A = this chain, B = another copy of it.
Amino acid sequence: MIIVMKNQATEKQIENVINWIESIGYKAHPSRGVQRTIIGAVGDQRDKTALKYAESLPGVEKTMPILKPYKLASRESHEGNTIVSVGPIPIGGPEFIVMAGPCSIESEEQLLESAYIVKKGGAQILRGGAYKPRTSPYSFQGMEEEGLKLLEQVRLRTSMPVVTEVVNPADVDLVESYADMLQIGARNVQNFALLKKVGQSRKPVLLKRGMMTTIEELLMSAEYVLSSGNPNVILCERGIRTFETTTRNTLDLSAVPVLKGLTHLPVVVDPSHAAGHWKLVIPLSRAAVAVGADGLIVEVHPRPEMAVSDGMQSLKPEKFYQLMDELRAIASAMRH
């Protein structure tokens, strides 16, 4: 943290700031410039939020953090790209990976049919929700453990690894025993009790950005998982909340190259939840490959008009096949 003194700060004010810095456990390193004095505060801990209080001390102009507040997630701590394996599928390497499937697991038949569709289209990983965080208590809340068992059966029959959401720290052990990857949804991105718990899991974690989470906060949430001992985190951009209402949320594709610059972790995109409408999913998916994402998570349903949740944003089989063809063409153009 750097503390910039005002132009006219007195020697006594400077000393007072130095003493305060040391009273709360940091070392103070003043640099007396021609125009103003700048005081660096150095300490062991990454958390220097207490130093922000300096702005209330007399003679202080402003404070300015220097270090990024995340460490393990940062590219500085890990130069190459991390490749996370979901079952046998590597995410973050040269191949663009597609995770697809229904929003909710509804029945064995629906899940199996979905799995065959997404496999036929070329997706590598099956998605499907058994625990559903829904805005309304009157909406379908998911099949819970029964859904996990269907996921297990379909996983065995199709040999596709599966990703599914977990919403309660108390369910992590159970979900982990069925899933190849644990998904943390947008609304739980700052559910720190849950993040600490999946940080103790051996399974990789798909961490969705919240609809009002900054990029720095997303990386801090990843840091919770990493610092709890789980190095396998995949970040997912899924749209942020803005004033624009023609789309459900605004897909922030700039976040992909920004994140690739700041962190070594893989970054994927969820166009379905961002857009809220299947018609936008194909162009946004093309854009996601083009902007440099490592993969995609997309909702597909054999009969969206009968889906218990998110039918509006689910692709029908033929649209999904078209999407996969278009993605392959762009991914191929990107490699040359």
Task: Identify the A interface with B (CB < 8 A).
Answer: 2, 4, 20, 23-24, 29, 31-36, 38, 40, 42, 45-47, 49-50, 52-53, 55-57, 61-62, 64, 66, 69-70, 133-141, 167-170, 187-188, 190-193, 196, 210-212, 214-217, 220, 223-224, 227-228, 240-247, 250-258, 261, 274-275, 278-280, 283-284, 286-292, 304-309, 311-312, 326, 329-330, 332-334, 336
Contact = CB atoms under 8 A, between A and B. Distances in A.
B309 A49 contact: yes
A275 B257 CA distance: 11
A141 B196 CA distance: 12
**Residue among A20, A49, A326 facing the most chain B CB atoms (10 A cut-off):** A49
A308 B50 contact: yes
B4 A66 contact: yes
Contacts of A46: 136, 138
A66 B6 CA distance: 9
**Residue among A24, A191, A192 facing the most chain B CB atoms (10 A cut-off):** A192
A190 B223 contact: no
14 contacts: A35-B40, A53-B311, A69-B138, A70-B136, A133-B192, A136-B220, A137-B228, A250-B252, A254-B284, A287-B287, A287-B290, A287-B291, A326-B334, A329-B336
A220 B135 contact: yes
A332 B36 CA distance: 44
Contacts of A333: 329-330, 332-333
Contacts of A255: 244, 246
Contact of A312 (B56, B256, B288): B56
Given A33-B29, A35-B40, A135-B220, A286 B291 contact: yes
Nearest to A259: B246
